[in-house]
Structure 1
């Protein structure tokens, strides 16, 4: 799969299928393969672009000078420029929705449709921010994600009651446990601080095109609860869809429902 040099670092991405372009922005601590069910479906009639976040998958480390979600949005737009893709649909989950919203606001004529999943563009509640930052401090100091932190971090992504022996759960746990110290310290931790130290974008949501935007959320999402996505949908004036039996990575916990919703929305 191809790479693109952006801000001096190699960004790895998938480019599959032909037709109208769909840019997929994924979650923190996951690479582009989290979109496998959607890539398989959408690439039949669309050109799907799915980058790895910096320090994730096969992308190189966070470029020097990357300090905000606006930088991530600018870098994603640069990728589309390099691929000569002028107009595209954007589906962003978690941090993908955070920078995706900023991209849509910065280049409204280029984003034809915007799907925001399990995300929130307001500031992180202070208690939560401090808690996540304390985890980053521990990871940075140890140069690893130790067992006790894996027991805290991994369940956050899934609905309560998921089988901890399931392939989905165990795969994420193994991926996080295997992250090397340099990747954690140079990319994962600083990127996490950017995400959870973000500024407030809620006052600008009314600028989005409501008829071409939809907000979706797993009905059992813990880190980004449905109340947050409903707040965003009301500020945008767009549709709000709850994804049944799904937590934060809703596209993998209920891929059939998500695929049906995405296909219907993109066709409309």
Structure 2
């Protein structure tokens, strides 16, 4: 993906720096990336920004704790913290309403933002979002790998390669070594190692806050929503798609074949076409 057309800047939001890339014209669409080690907005959506920017103004932040944004996330209410900062980013940019597109951790951020302030969100696209049945029962092998990255003997290139090849995508051979290397270098930033943005819940109250299926507001959220979930997702359980379809009054559900946790990357052309059609309505 060419980055020549990206307007990159750092905004001051709630006393913290938030990096955002901005391109295209039209209704604003915010792309919120997942919480894997070394993740960032532009890298996670490298196959989607240009196609979507043909129809929309595309905003791609680095989530708090990642990339070029300020490090550290409030561990007592991580999804609320992320949502507050992305909403604050919209305030700084003078955007009243936007479409939100979120993968995994970013999907949890998007859903929390919509639950807290539904008047700020036009439509939601959620790809394998966190917080949907992930806090009950035993975690998936992929989630264990993700949460254990900074534990034990600390981060390593082998740990990251195993997570990406084995758990993040359906076809690990499709992921170039250069992408893994770039993410590894970002993941070992000393500030991130000292305070990883994605950690195991610190208390039962935090666990409750991070489970959207316990939130009664979910059944009242009228925001038009498209839920896309990889049938072979090994990080967040695909049954979460049907769960959201049952709970949310205006949610369409799409389960994609031969796809892991990274729908927007693995099935980029399909994702771009379906997302564009859904957002344009």
Q: Please indicate the TM-score interval, normalised by the length of the shorter structure.
A: 0.7 to 0.9
Does 1:206 pair with 2:206?
no
* TM-score, scaled to structure 1: 0.86
Q: Judging changes above 3 Å, is the alpha-carbon distance between structure 1 residues 133 and 260 closer, same or farther for their aligned structure 2 residues?
A: closer
Among candidates 135, 144, 149, match of residue 124 of structure 1? 135
Q: Which of 193, 216, 239 matches 2:228?
A: 216
| Alpha-carbon displacement from aligned partner over 1:137-158 (angstroms, at most 9, x marks no partner) | 662564x412452354222110
Q: State the alpha-carbon separation in 2 of the partners of residues 55 and 69 from structure 1.
A: 12
Q: Does 1:4 align with 2:16?
A: no
Give the equivalent residue in structure 2 for 1:44. Answer: 54
Counterpart selection for 1:59 from 54, 69, 81: 69
Matched, 1:230 2:238: no
- Cα 1:194–1:61 change in 2 (3 A) is farther
Q: 2:85 aligns with which of 75, 84, 97?
A: 75
- SS at the partner of 1:193? coil
CA contact (8 A) 2:14 2:88 kept: no
CA 1:138–1:108 in structure 2 vs 1: closer, same or farther (change >3 Å)? closer
**RMSD of aligned alpha carbons:** 2.7
Q: Matched residue of 1:22: which SS?
A: strand
Q: Report the structure, 1 or 2, having the larger helix content.
A: 1
> 2:41 matched to which residue of 1?
32
Matched, 1:20 2:27: yes
Shift of 1:260: 1.1
Distance (Å, rounded) in 2 between the aligned partners of 1:244 and 1:132: 21
TM-score for the superposition, normalised by structure 2? 0.82
How far the C-alpha of 1:133 sits from its partner, in A, is 6.9
Deviation per residue, 1:181-202 (Å, 9 max, x gap): 5133244x24333599553221
Residue range with higher mean Cα deviation, 77-86 or 36-45: 36-45
Distance 1:23 1:176 in 2: 22
CA contact (8 A) 1:70 1:99 kept: yes
Dislocated runs of 4+, deviation >4 Å: 63-67, 129-138, 194-198
Give the paired residue count: 261
